[in-house]
A and B are shown apart, each in its own frame.
Chain A
Amino acid sequence: MNIEAFLKALQATALAEKIREALFVFPMLEATHVIGLALVFGTIAIIDLRLIGLASSQRSFKRMYSDILKWTWGAFALTAVTGALMFITNATVYYHNFYFRTKMLLLVLAGINMGVFELTLGRKVDSWDKSPSAPALGRAVGVLSICLWITVIFMGRMIGFTTTRAAVAAPPPAGVNFDDFLNTPGPPPAPPKK
Chain B
Amino acid sequence: MNRFAEWLSTTPPSVYIQNHNAWFIPLVQSIHIVGIAVVLGSVLMINLRILGWAGMDQTLRQTSTRFAPWVTSSLYLLLATGILMVIGEPVRELVTISFWLKMFLVAVSTVIAVNFQRKLRADRQPIKWLALATFVIWACIIILGRLIAYDHVWGSWSPATKA
Interface residues of A (CB under 8 A from B): 23-24, 27-28, 30-32, 34-35, 37-43, 45-46, 55-56, 59-60, 63, 67-68, 71, 150, 153-154, 157-158, 160-161, 166, 172-173, 176-178, 181, 188-192, 194
CA–CA, A41 to B33, complex, Å? 10
Near A by CB (< 8 A), chain B positions 135-163 give 139, 142-143, 145-147, 149-150, 152-153
| Chain A contact residues, majority secondary structure | helix
The 4 closest A-B pairs by CB, nearest first: A42-B41, A41-B37, A38-B37, A31-B146
Q: Cβ of B147 and Cβ of A153 under 8 Å apart? A: no
| Chain B contact residues, majority secondary structure | helix
Query: Whose C-beta in chain A lies nearest to the C-beta of B152?
Result: A23
Q: Cβ of A191 and Cβ of B153 under 8 Å apart? A: no
Query: Whose C-beta in chain A lies nearest to the C-beta of B15?
Result: A188
CA–CA, A71 to B152, complex, Å? 34
Q: Cβ of B10 and Cβ of A192 under 8 Å apart? A: no
Interface size on B, residues (CB 8 A): 47
CA–CA, A62 to B1, complex, Å? 52
Shortest Cβ distance from residue A20 to the other chain B in the assembled complex, whole angstroms: 14
Asked if B81 is an interface residue, CB under 8 A from chain A, the answer is no
In the complex, besides A27-B146, A41-B41, 16 extra interface pairs with C-beta distance below 8 angstroms are A23-B153, A27-B150, A31-B146, A34-B145, A38-B40, A39-B37, A42-B41, A42-B44, A46-B41, A46-B42, A55-B66, A150-B34, A172-B22, A173-B18, A178-B15, A181-B12
| Chain A residues closer than 8 Å to B25, beta-carbon distance | 161
Q: Cβ of B15 and Cβ of A176 under 8 Å apart? A: yes
CA–CA, A34 to B92, complex, Å? 20
Asked if B117 is an interface residue, CB under 8 A from chain A, the answer is no
Contact of B26 among A41, A157, A177 (CB under 8 A): A157
Q: A71-B44, A190-B10 are in contact. Are A37 and B33 (CB under 8 A)?
A: yes
Asked if B83 is an interface residue, CB under 8 A from chain A, the answer is no
Q: Cβ of A34 and Cβ of B36 under 8 Å apart? A: yes
Q: Cβ of A153 and Cβ of B10 under 8 Å apart? A: no
Q: Cβ of B16 and Cβ of A178 under 8 Å apart? A: yes
11 A-B contact pairs sorted by A residue (CB < 8 Å): A28-B143, A42-B42, A46-B42, A67-B55, A68-B45, A68-B54, A172-B21, A177-B19, A178-B12, A188-B12, A192-B18
Near A by CB (< 8 A), chain B positions 1-28 give 9-12, 14-16, 18-22, 25-27
Asked if B109 is an interface residue, CB under 8 A from chain A, the answer is no
Q: Cβ of B41 and Cβ of A43 under 8 Å apart? A: yes
